[in-house]
Amino acid sequence: MIYLDYSATTPVNLDVLDSLVKVTNTYIGNPNSMHSLGVKSRALLRSATRQIAEVLNIKEQEIIYTSGATESNNTAILGVALRYKRLGNHIILSKLEHPSEYVLADYLESLGFRISYVNNDTDGLVDLEDLKELITKDTILVSIVGVNSEVGVRQPLKTIRQIIKKENPNTLFHSDLTQALGKVSINLNDVDLASFSGHKIFGPKGIGLLYKNEKVDIVPLIHGSSKDFPYRAGTPPLPLIVALSKAIRLCTMDLDKKEIYVKKLQEKIISDISHYPEIMINNTKYSIPHIINISLMNIKPESFVHAMEDHEVYISTNTACSSGELSTSVMAIYGNKRRAMTTIRISLASTTTLDEVNKFLTFFHGEYQRFIRLKK
């Protein structure tokens, strides 16, 4: 099997899985319970949270555990909207966001909020001048994805934050950093809120977190009794949290070394497939190396994905959350519907081997040539 769909999800690291199983079997007490089993679980919960805070260089109280990035995005954007609606009703998104934010934007509009979409340039970067013009005294939130999940464009978050705070110091800044963590360096001082997901970093599904600066307040999505976690009520999923802590610690080790290695794999793939005249490379110079996006201009992408699957090679069309649909990111960058309708995403990890890449290219060339012959 050759798995090249790491941006959709990742296999669980064996050490992370071991932590998950051990905690599940050993720590049976509810962390909220007063007895010794609860105290034991509570101590482990605090230890895991402290470790995450140290790696991300934030405070423990700034961590909100969620079920994943979609819940984190909802908690951040809806939570801010409801808390600060007295200050304004305007929210700005980019055109390269995760689908969950666009669905939420439609819902917010039904509640009376006004949503604006900032333009981007031909490299996929946010148009900073357009952003300046969009921000008003009523703008309560700007949400810009840190690394796009389809084309991999990495945004200059520090510069964006400076512009936001200059135009309106009260405007908050959220970023979905799901595709950034474990791939490139991040600095949470650049944002007020940030979303993360465990299953994108070789952790288990069903766990994620939202970073919320301690000076920011939000309305919780889930209400109930939870003394230590007031923004997400319920019994903390201790095994998942410990596994997430382990995954974060492992994925952030040797980042520069891993990125250089993945860059070499990316360059080989792009070099090998870019000579085909009817294959368009959708990556820009600001794309991280872990995500390769191409358009097969005369081939139905779903058919090609399934053909590669016959060789036990697993790639995707665009995001798993919008598979089979037009790539909104490619459309936003290139403005070409045909190009946006024929995208293939190949996503790599530091665990991807050169042998896997070579085998992928062999199968890719064979299937691509077969499809071209069938078109004649």
- Sign (positive or negative) of CA dihedral 40, 199, 152, 196: negative
Burial pattern 274-302, b for ≥16 Cβ within 10 A else e, equals eebeebbebbbebbbbbbbbbbbeebebe
Q: Catalytic residue at 251?
A: no
Burial of 126 (0-12, 13-18, 19+ CB in 10 A): buried
Query: How long a stretch of residues is the chain?
Result: 376
Are 118 and 171 contacting, i.e. CB atoms less than 8 angstroms apart?
no
Burial pattern 242-256, b for ≥16 Cβ within 10 A else e, equals bbbbbbbbbbbeebe
Bridge partner residues of 66 (DSSP)? 208
Backbone angles phi, psi at 94, to 5 degrees: -90, 175
Question: In this structure, which amino acid lies at residue 32?
Answer: N
Catalytic residue (choose from 221, 321, 326, 331) = 321
Bridge partner residues of 5 (DSSP)? 347
Identify how many contiguous H helices and E strands the chain contains and give both numbers. Answer: 12, 12
Burial pattern 181-211, b for ≥16 Cβ within 10 A else e, equals bbbbebebebbbbbbbbbbbbbbbeebbbbb
250 CB contacts (<8 Å, ≥6 apart)? 13, 15, 16, 202
Which one-letter DSSP state was computed for residue 336? Answer: -
Whose CA is closest to 190, among 154, 227, 226?
A: 154
Residues belonging to the active site: 321
